[in-house]
Structure 1
């Protein structure tokens, strides 16, 4: 039994196809098939049911795959230990970022990070929180940047910054004359929200502590874009709430429609998150340090109240 054979097993279990697994492992399909057959012969069990399409794991195969994940992870940890001992910060690093953070945060730190750590090859994906958690658990991401706390015992969270919510109020709105907004002023019935699946939407709902009713709506918004919310608000279709970093690039005319909250300002907690068994901690440390350093110059707020990103939940 070899580590390489176990990696082949994991690839087939993921792709449910020998040809795709071989491409993923950069070997020919006959080479991969031969190695799997050798492993099955050695163990005297069948790991895959080749009669099914797509290929399925047998009962014992599922148990073998779980153990194979542990063995492969631990084998890679040896290289990680060596890299840390040598002070090497490099290699491929897969990171997911939620949609309401990606457009504002990525331009702030990416150039600095690449310049400081040229040997790190970042593979960045825009993913929802649900997708991020699934991929972290499956080992398809090394880390992610998301709104927290997520209350998941298998995921570790390291806070990067606290980002206040800011109200964007059109000229004809009932709150247009208020200099400071109170949470009690909010009404979801005249507020534009992101579509379901976005944690920022859940945060806004948690802040208002009520649920939006669609019964009297003249339209239903299905957009994942904060920019779309602002444009609709400009058309007088309602107010909206923005993460603070999204307000920095607004022009002077649009900035006049911003209203900050009375302290403590409602805010979201943004963290770098990773599986508790994650390798490559030196890269996670590097990302945390670079992002924290950059963000300090953009957000100076201290007196905030963290709003939970989880549906139907609020953490004071």
Structure 2
């Protein structure tokens, strides 16, 4: 029977890339680890890694065992924390947009008062695939507008919001009642540093019309992005609540299409975590705070 020690063994081997390093990370001797490897391979009736391979390489059996380890061990760790400290927990949140801070930080302030024993952290989901990280227990919640049809995840809908094109008052498009995809063909479109298939303006406005902007420019800092907009050096899509009252007086906000592009913001969690008290409380607080703090949204 496969045991937890076997799963930890294969993870250590894969991470360290050699037996000696794996033994050190598990705080056992190399001889003891070699003995464990032999017993495991006898159990599986096959090798778990390729001997004398450079770089280190797992066999198909080893890869299958590693897949099991990456699935099971984080779940065991999380369950142990919930059983030993049922009033506490961990809430690492990945967010896919900078503008989420305008409602997320006030939500966290309230949440921290009500759940002081829950550890939380924030990650900007620009440099990794957030839903894959959620599945692998690297994060515990993803703020997203793109729910996946996957039974591994559950979603708390927060609110509907409209995506608007933000541009300088001097832009040639600034007086239009709404934009068509063709209006973007001669523009420089500013985006956050993610692939186009993760951007609403492409998925729900430009791609269906088979239109691309003249140029795209990736900008990480919102402050820099707004400066480029004010200088009439590009346009960008944002919800209205992502801008300050002062910024709104200096730019033009134009709907995408006659009926606009409306999206729903969700909190994605692992299916097994949906009933955790602090997860449900966070979702309720987020709805309440958003309703009070944001304009032009429809709370779900």
Common fold by TM > 0.5: yes
Of 173, 193, 216, which aligns to 2:190? 193
Question: Which of 204, 226, 235 pairs up with 1:230?
Answer: 226
Q: Does 1:243 align with 2:251?
A: no
Q: Say whether residues 1:46 and 2:41 are aligned partners.
A: no
In 1, distance between residues paired with 2:51 and 2:119?
36
Contact 1:129 / 1:198 at 8 angstroms: preserved in 2? no
Q: Quick one: distance in 2 between partners of 1:192 and 1:165?
A: 14
For residues 64 and 189 of structure 2, the distance between their equivalents in structure 1, rounded to whole angstroms, comes to 47
Matched, 1:267 2:254: no
Counterparts of 1:105 and 1:303, CA distance in 2: 14
Name the residue aligned to 1:211.
211
The number of equivalent residue pairs is 290
Matched, 1:64 2:53: no
Q: Contact between 2:169 and 2:251, CA under 8 Å: does it hold in 1?
A: yes
Identify the match of residue 132 of structure 2 among 112, 131, 134: 134
The alignment's TM-score, normalised by the length of structure 1, stands at: 0.73
CA contact (8 A) 1:90 1:119 kept: yes
Name the CA distance, whole Å, in 1 between partners of 2:51 and 2:275.
36
Match of 1:99 in 2: 97
Gaps of 5+ in 1: 305-316
Q: CA deviation at 1:81?
A: 6.9
Residue of structure 1 equivalent to 2:172: 174
- The one-character-per-residue Cα deviations of 1:227-273 (angstroms, maximum 9, x if unpaired) are 333211211224332222311x2426x52424354985423322111
Partner of 1:144: 142
Structure 2, unpaired ranges of 5+? none
- Per-residue deviation, residues 140-164 of structure 1 (Å, max 9, x unmatched): 2222112223444543322122232
Compute the displacement of 1:41 (Å).
1.4
Secondary structure, aligned partner of 1:187? helix
- CA RMSD of superposed structures (Å): 3.7
- Matched with 1:313 is none
Q: Do the aligned partners of residues 56 and 231 (structure 1) sit closer, same or farther apart at CA in structure 2, a change above 3 Å counting?
A: same
Q: Secondary structure of the equivalent of 1:164?
A: strand
Seen in structure 2, the aligned counterparts of structure 1 residues 291 and 12 have a Cα distance that, compared at 3 Å, is farther
2:32 counterpart of 1:3: no
**Residues in 2 aligned to 1:157 and 1:32: alpha-carbon distance in whole angstroms:** 45
Deviation at 1:172, TM superposition (A): 1.8
How far off is 1:295 after superposition? Answer: 0.9
Contact 2:10–2:66 (Cα < 8 Å) also in 1: yes
CA apart distance, 1:131: 1.5
| Residues 1:119 and 1:52: Cα distance change in structure 2 (over 3 Å) | farther
Calculate the TM-score normalised by the size of structure 2.
0.76
- In structure 2, relative to structure 1, the CA distance for the partners of 1:17 and 1:293 (3 Å cut) is farther
Offset at 1:115? Answer: 2.0
C-alpha distance in 1, partners of 2:283/2:175? 40
Q: 1:6/1:115 Cα in 2 relative to 1: closer, same or farther (>3 Å)?
A: same
Pick closer, same or farther for the CA change 1:264–1:68 going to 2, 3 Å. same
**Alignment check: 8 A CA contact 2:135 2:270 kept:** yes
| Secondary structure, aligned partner of 2:91 | strand
C-alpha deviation, 1:197, in angstroms: 2.1
Q: Aligned equivalents of 1:77 and 1:299: distance in 2?
A: 34
